[in-house]
Structure 1
Amino acid sequence: MARPAKQSREESLRRALALFWSKGFHNTSLKDLEQALNMRPGSIYAAFTSKEALFCEALADYGRAAKADYLGIMERHGSRIDGLIAYLRSMAAACEREQPARACMAVKTVLEMPMEQGAMREQAEALLQDFEQGFTHAFAEAMAAGEIGDAIAPGRLARRLQADITGMRVLAERPSARDGLAERVDDTIAWLEGLKLPAAAHA
């Protein structure tokens, strides 16, 4: 059977992403996929080869969209630190909206996949690493511009920010702890603001 047309394939991936993001890989059955994609098993396998390949393609789409959002926000701010703060606020707002899941799909995948399921876990790890590298680059640019000091290495700052964001995503996924999300966002923003050198803070 021929692969679906581009628009049909994009729609199938969108639906698959929503399903996998909500339920996870293991809790998503073939029957779930049939219903969500409105495709028979044979058509799913003909188009995407396997459930694993479909998941990986959906995760890749998720990663591209997430990175585009991040880069778009950063491009709208001359200050790297202000850009990171705007990204945090955007992420917090997204966590408040009804989505397939409030937690990051990449983080959920890393937690769900055992080490032996290498391809899917490695892809999720690579996505998170790509974001950490983006944060590292932003902090390095802020240092080069004299916006923040250089006492702490950019990579270390990036890992702190990545850990904070992961914690926020986890809080957003827990209804009993969701009220603390705004406080956590405010704390991280205060930390970023505190990194600014006095001249940059008043620029």
Structure 2
Amino acid sequence: MARPREFDEDAALDAAMAQFWSHGYEATSVRDLATAMGVTSASLYNAFGDKRALYERVFERYVDRGFRDRVRRFEHHMPPRDAIAAFFDEIIQLAMSDPHRKGCLIVNSAMELAPHDKQFHRVLSRVLKDIEGFFERCVAAGQRDGSIPANLHTADMAKALLASLMGLRVLARVAPQRALLEGAVRPVLAMIGVSTNPKKQRTRRSA
């Protein structure tokens, strides 16, 4: 009979996420993780496998709490064009409330792990495809309801939004300035009919 866990798994995963997110994969040792998670190294291996397996578990948790949570909140409860605008608006807000400039774990992983880890590259590619799919569904739905120009190439627009999102996340780590971040996404959002008036955007956010 398996022994019950002697620690809070959710709290331990959150602690591991904080370590990886702040320091990166390579710079985080198993000892660092065990200390942060409040477990022994043996317990860590028994519960989660090796460091690489734990990282993938943490990464999936991050994606579910971040991207997938936004999809659940925005895609099915907002008009499609508003869902895209709200997605970017929240990303900028997160960047402005990130004093340690940890950035996005998806982008961080793309830069550090994906280039030389084939298995993780597949995991990351699937997540990026899911994000692109969200944008494509929203653009297509907006074209059907008339809120997004019908002459835009749906799939290409989704790719442009994905590229803008990834670039925004990188830029936010270097220069987390609201005017800069909003200005960076304003042209691509204008293509789908989102207001490009900075004063109007600030009014909407404070309402």
SS at match of 2:149: coil
Distance 1:43 1:89 in 2: 40
Residues 44, 54 of structure 1: CA spacing in aligned structure 2 closer, same or farther, 3 A cutoff? same
Displacement, 1:139? 0.8
CA contact (8 A) 1:24 1:108 kept: yes
SS at match of 1:106: helix
Structure 1 stretches of 4+ with a deviation exceeding 6 A read none
Displacement, 1:86? 1.2
- Residue equivalent to 2:168: 168
Displacement, 1:32? 1.2
CA contact (8 A) 2:85 2:189 kept: yes
Q: Across the two proteins, how many residue pairs are aligned to each other?
A: 191
CA contact (8 A) 1:85 1:192 kept: no
Displacement, 1:75? 2.8
Distance 1:91 1:133 in 2: 18
Residues 185, 115 of structure 1: CA spacing in aligned structure 2 closer, same or farther, 3 A cutoff? closer
- Residue equivalent to 2:103: 103
Displacement, 1:152? 2.5
Displacement, 1:124? 1.9
Displacement, 1:194? 5.8
Instruction: Answer yes or no: is 1:178 the counterpart of 2:176.
Output: yes
Read off the aligned partner of 1:17 and give its amino acid letter: M
Displacement, 1:137? 0.9
Read off the aligned partner of 2:5 and give its amino acid letter: P
State how 1:1-203 maps to structure 2 within 5 Å: 2=3, 4=5, 8-66=8-66, 67-77=68-78, 79-98=79-98, 101-174=101-174, 177-179=175-177, 180-193=180-193
Distance 2:187 2:3 in 1: 52
5+ residue gaps, structure 1: 196-203
Displacement, 1:116? 4.0
How high is the TM-score relative to the length of structure 2?
0.83
CA contact (8 A) 2:95 2:172 kept: yes
**1:142-171 CA-partner distances (Å, limit 9, x unpaired):** 112222233232111111011111111111
CA contact (8 A) 2:103 2:172 kept: yes
Distance 2:41 2:165 in 1: 37
Displacement, 1:39? 1.2
CA contact (8 A) 1:92 1:182 kept: yes
Distance 2:135 2:4 in 1: 38
CA contact (8 A) 1:3 1:46 kept: no
Aligned Cα root-mean-square deviation (Å): 2.2
